[in-house]
Structure formats: C-alpha cells, structure tokens
Structure 1
Amino acid sequence: MELVDLYDENRIPLGRTAERYAPKKPGEYRTVVHVCIFAPDGRMLIQQRTSCKVIWPDRWDVSAAGGVDAGEDSRMAAERECREELGYSLDLTGVRATLSVNFSQGFDDFFLVERDLDLASLNLQPEEVAQVRWATLEEAEAMAADGCFIPYPEGFLRFLFSMRGKFGFPTK
C-alpha cells in the first residue's frame, strides 16, 4: 500500500496520509511529479508505459512520472522516479519544479532538465516502462493526436517544449 501526504487547496500539509488511489475527502489533495528530460538538441525523452499499467496502459508519456510518497517532497520523488523507471540517477539538488499544475485530485509538479543521455545506458523498470525514445515536439504532438500519448490538455506538450530553456535550465 502506497501512502501519500495530504494537502489542502493551498498546498498546506494537513498532517495526515491516505492510500494513493483511495478516494479523498473534499479538501484533500496529493502531489504527483513529472520529469521532462530534454537532449541538447531540444528533443524530449519519452517513455511508453507497459500494457499492465492500470492507468494509461501502452500510452507514451514524458520521461518519468509518479506519485510523491508520504514523507517525500517533489524533488525527492522526481529523483526516485527517474531511478526506478529509467535507472538514471538525476540530481535535482537546489532545483525547483519548473511549473506546477492543479488537477482534480491534487498538484502536478513538472521538472524540466537538459541531459545528454545515451538511451542504451538506461535500465528500464519492466513493470512500468516498455520502451523509451527521443521525440521532437512535432512527433510528440502527432502521437497525442493519434491517441498514443497520455491525453494532456491540448497545447500542453507545446508549452512544455517552449518552457525548455526558460528561467535557467538545469544542465548539471
């Protein structure tokens, strides 16, 4: 059972936890992280979720994502998700989420970083990730239009790509 910390609508901790997928009471929210790893040439590392995933099986998504466990902050969860899903040790020391988006059950924190990764060096988590590849904005948008990508709001992938390089881009 995965536990998550609960927050109010202002993201103030409520001092209690709940099971990750259990229904939340009104005014209870959780946090999710997404990591978008961009290559120096502007392509984004994307991953295809396995067919056994309960939510969005076989769909493509950003580089890594997952729930923030109880006791973690977003940065810690983003680093953990990269280690677990990609076998990649991402150091986000001193890095804040590039953007946060509200969703019906909580808060989505997106970390946008640039790394020159060799895909062959990644160790994919077989229960979570079927495959990874680099994609241009045009390729990701075409995949979204075809229903192959997780259905982010229209224009959101373009927004993520446009945020690349804004506000000091972590490249360490």
Structure 2
Amino acid sequence: MTEVWNAYDLNRNQLPHLLVRGEKILEGQFHLCVNVLVRHQDGDILFMRRSANKSLYPGYYEFGAGGSVLAGEDSQTAALRELKEETGLVPDSIRLLEQVCSIKDQCHFDYYEVLVSGDKSQVRYQAGETDAHVWLPLREVPAFVENHPCFKNQKKILSSLFD
C-alpha cells in the first residue's frame, strides 16, 4: 500500500496537494513525521532496533516508535498509531515534547513522550520494521546511545531528559 502524506511549507502550513512516499518532494515542501519516546511507569526508556532488512539505517536503535503522518491524520493520532503498530503498546498518557524542522530531510518532526504501565514483555515487533528491543533505566541511556547506532536527532531529545 502506497503511503500518502499531506504537504506542508516551511512554517507548517498545509499545502493543497499530497505527497507520495518514494516520489520526489519539491524544494520548499515538507512532510510531517512523529517520534515517540516510550517511558515505563518505573522510569525505564524503551529502545527498538530497526530491522536489518530496512533500506535506511538498518540495525539502528530508536526510542519507541516513529514514522510518517498519513494524509488526513494529525500528528498525535499518527504517534499513537505508530506506537501500536511498531510495539503493540497502548499508552496511559501522551505529551508533545518538541517540534523540529529538518530542511535537509524536508520533514517536520513532532516528538512525543508516552507513559506506559504493565508488563514490559508485552512489546512486540512489526515485521520488517523492528527485530529487538531493550528497556533501560534513565541512568544507562547516555552510555547506550554512545555505544550503539542511534539517530542524532533522537540523541538531542534524550539529552534534554538530563538537563
């Protein structure tokens, strides 16, 4: 199934046309993506490992879940959908952490934090997307992201947890 996204300008104003995954995005146009930091009620942070079969960044660890916001979807709805699809988790709460624009990636990123409770072993993997996970106490996160392949933009968000 082909993913279709809303198009946005630099200032996050929605444009009147759609974008299609895999097709060139014109200069000055952006799509919207979400990243979801997952924190367990005991304080641990969830990292998911991207499948070795991914074309981009195979084997990289990312916090929780993430992906593109589909046409007609708002970012919070997309965050909850991606979390469910990629981890099987349903959060107790969700909050917006930060919004960032990447000119290079032609993408507006919305970063969310969710709080989950219950059995940590309930994490499941989405075929072709993820193949491993780890729950880490907050104090172990800096060493983990230093010693494992992780996204730079997520490292920045994680570092804000220690400020």
- Does the pair score TM above 0.5? yes
1:46 aligns with 2:47: yes
* 2:127 alignment partner, SS class: coil
Q: What is aligned with 1:89?
A: 90
**Counterparts of 1:136 and 1:21 in 2: how far apart (Å)?**
37
Distance 1:41 1:121, change over 3 A: closer
1:30-49 CA distance string (max 9 Å, x none): 11001111123322111011
Residue 97 of structure 1 aligns to a residue whose secondary structure is: strand
Q: TM-score, normalised by structure 1?
A: 0.82
Distance of 1:33 and 1:142 partners within structure 2: 25
Matches within 5 A, 1:23-172: 23-90=24-91, 97-104=96-103, 105-152=106-153, 155-159=156-160, 161-162=161-162
Q: How many residues align?
A: 160
Higher strand share: 2
Q: CA 1:17/1:48 → structure 2, altered by over 3 Å: closer, same or farther? A: same
Q: What TM-score, normalized by structure 2, do the two folds share?
A: 0.86
Q: Which residue of 2 aligns with 1:3?
A: 4
Give me the whole-angstrom Cα distance separating, in 1, the residues matched to 2:43 and 2:64: 14
Please, which runs of 5 or more residues in structure 1 have no aligned partner? 164-172
Contact 1:85 1:128 in 2 (8 A): yes
- Contact 2:92-2:117 at 8 Å conserved across structures: no
Retained in 2: the 8 A contact 1:119–1:132?
no
Aligned alpha-carbon RMSD (Å):
2.1
Deviations 1:130-156 (A, max 9, x none): 112212344332233234222337643
Offset of residue 23 of structure 1: 2.4
Task: Give 5+ residue unaligned stretches, structure 2.
Answer: none
